[in-house]
Structure 1
Amino acid sequence: MLYQTITITLLLSIGIFPSPEIKESTTTEIISIDPISTIYEGLQGNSDELPSKEVFMMAAQGWSKMKDKLKTKVLTVIDFSLPSTAKRMWIIDPVSGVILLNSVVSHGRNSGDLMANNFSNIPESFKSSLGFYKTAETYSGKHGYSLRLDGLEKGFNDQARNRAIVIHGADYAREEFAESVGRLGRSLGCPALPSELSAKAIDLIKDGSLLFIFGKDENYINKSSLIKA
């Protein structure tokens, strides 16, 4: 009974479904529970590793603030503080606490080699951009089935559509490529996925979900209002 009450109150606190009648005394017993930490601790799925708690907490803070403006509650987390050989992208259903997909993902060619260290919002920089994005419409282009992204953070990624920063598949983003050269190939700034997984990933997150790209950049960490509690 207590477990059921904790689950209900957790879901209420992040606004997943309308409030049922819950006795005040029961709610008071668990008022100190951190819903975002609880979601993280309960993550499960076919994933070799979880995102770091620090990065997940940032992503979940933004998701919590933006969720009412989203068409779907799925949250995608990309951690560019990890090497490109790592499975550093997670597609997560925060409602059920399930990791839907975990994959390698490429960064921009001018952001770095194995590690992404430099980020930009400037057109033709060929660098990755940090921050929160809202997924938009799909289309068929140079790289086949692709997904447009709209950057939500001015100065950090709001030029994404102008820069044609999209999610697409690429053979250079496959693990076999990394095994042969020691790193993934690099894009012109797009988060490129293995060609065999890109369509599945796009269909999971298209049309109005939230995507968060993290990197070790003090300017972004200090100035972004979405990652702070």
Structure 2
Amino acid sequence: MTPASAPAPARRLALLVIALAVSIPQRAIADFVDARALSHTAPNADPAVLGLALNAITCAVKGGHPPATRLAIIDYSRPSTERRLWVFDLDKPALLHEEWVAHGRNSGDNLTHTFSNAEGSLATSLGLFQTMNAYEGRNGYSLRLSGLESGVNDHALRRAIVIHGASYVNPDRLDAMGRLGRSWGCPAVRTAVAQSLIDHLKDGQYVFAYYPDSQWLAASPYLHCATGPQPSFARAAR
């Protein structure tokens, strides 16, 4: 049984084990004041995934990337039939969005299993992204993403991997289809929320896309910079 297919309590325990296994000190999640606060604002999100995301953006800031006050977390270990995208205001902290999000058509059906950084793959990428500008494109109001992880998501710009609204992200059709519609690799959201969600995330915020991929978890530099308990990210961002 994989973390994605396990019952919720078992999945939370499995993810916590993963979080500890990728060299996050045992006290790091507990000492993340904002990780606890984020868990309270988003009780349906896995706290271990929240901890990994906060660790990743802390590593990014330590590595010279600018701090930010907004963070989106996508948990691709969950099926597309579930809300698996959370957008947080780290300063308050507060949950701004809890949404459905599509994955790439070659990443899987309802559940994802394959991820890619390659052009033409029509697959989703994992890892830490920084947001860029919003623009009007063929999919309407959209948000460019810059992948920060070499070999994992750093082709996002040339692949035109963006957040955008899409009619196929339609929860009313889940019973009939058994899944959301799928994108060409973009994290597409409902058209009704796209503009608000993009406006909350544009211009230098962070997006963390998670899946319990053992190779990525072991190699990502944004999950391995911690040498001790980490400070509150929101406090550091002010």
> Under TM normalisation by the shorter chain, which class is it?
0.7 to 0.9
Output the amino acid matched with 2:53. Answer: A
**Counterpart selection for 2:198 from 183, 194, 202:** 202
Quote the Cα distance in structure 1 between the aligned partners of 2:203 and 2:29. Answer: 32
- Higher Rg of the two aligned structures: 1
TM-score (norm 2): 0.77
2:19 aligned residue: none
1:13 aligned residue: none
For each residue in 1:39-98, what CA deviation from the matched residue of structure 2 results, as whole angstroms up to 9, or x when unmatched?
A: 2222344x5x43211111110001112246336321110000000011100001222221
2:134 aligned residue: 138
> How many residues get paired?
196
Q: Does 1:218 align with 2:214?
A: yes
For each residue in 1:4-36, what CA deviation from the matched residue of structure 2 results, as whole angstroms up to 9, or x when unmatched?
A: xxxxxxxxxxxxxxxxxxxxxxxxxxx999432
2:35 aligned residue: 40
Q: Does 1:50 align with 2:44?
A: yes
Q: Given the superposition, is the C-alpha separation of residues 171 and 34 from structure 1 closer, same or farther in structure 2, using an over 3 Å criterion?
A: same
Q: Does 1:63 align with 2:57?
A: yes
1:181 aligned residue: 177
Q: Does 1:95 align with 2:120?
A: no
Is contact 1:177–1:185 with CA below 8 Å preserved after alignment? no
- Greater RCO between the two (CA within 8 Å, min separation 6)? 2
Quote the Cα distance in structure 2 between the aligned partners of 1:146 and 1:32. Answer: 35
2:159 aligned residue: 163
Quote the Cα distance in structure 2 between the aligned partners of 1:126 and 1:32. Answer: 36
TM-score (norm 1): 0.80
Quote the Cα distance in structure 2 between the aligned partners of 1:113 and 1:33. Answer: 32
1:151 aligned residue: 147
**Counterpart selection for 2:80 from 84, 102, 105:** 84
Output the amino acid matched with 1:60. Answer: L
Question: Secondary structure of the equivalent of 2:48?
Answer: helix
Question: Secondary structure of the equivalent of 1:201?
Answer: helix
Q: Does 1:112 align with 2:108?
A: yes
CA-based RMSD = 1.9
Is contact 1:178–1:185 with CA below 8 Å preserved after alignment? no
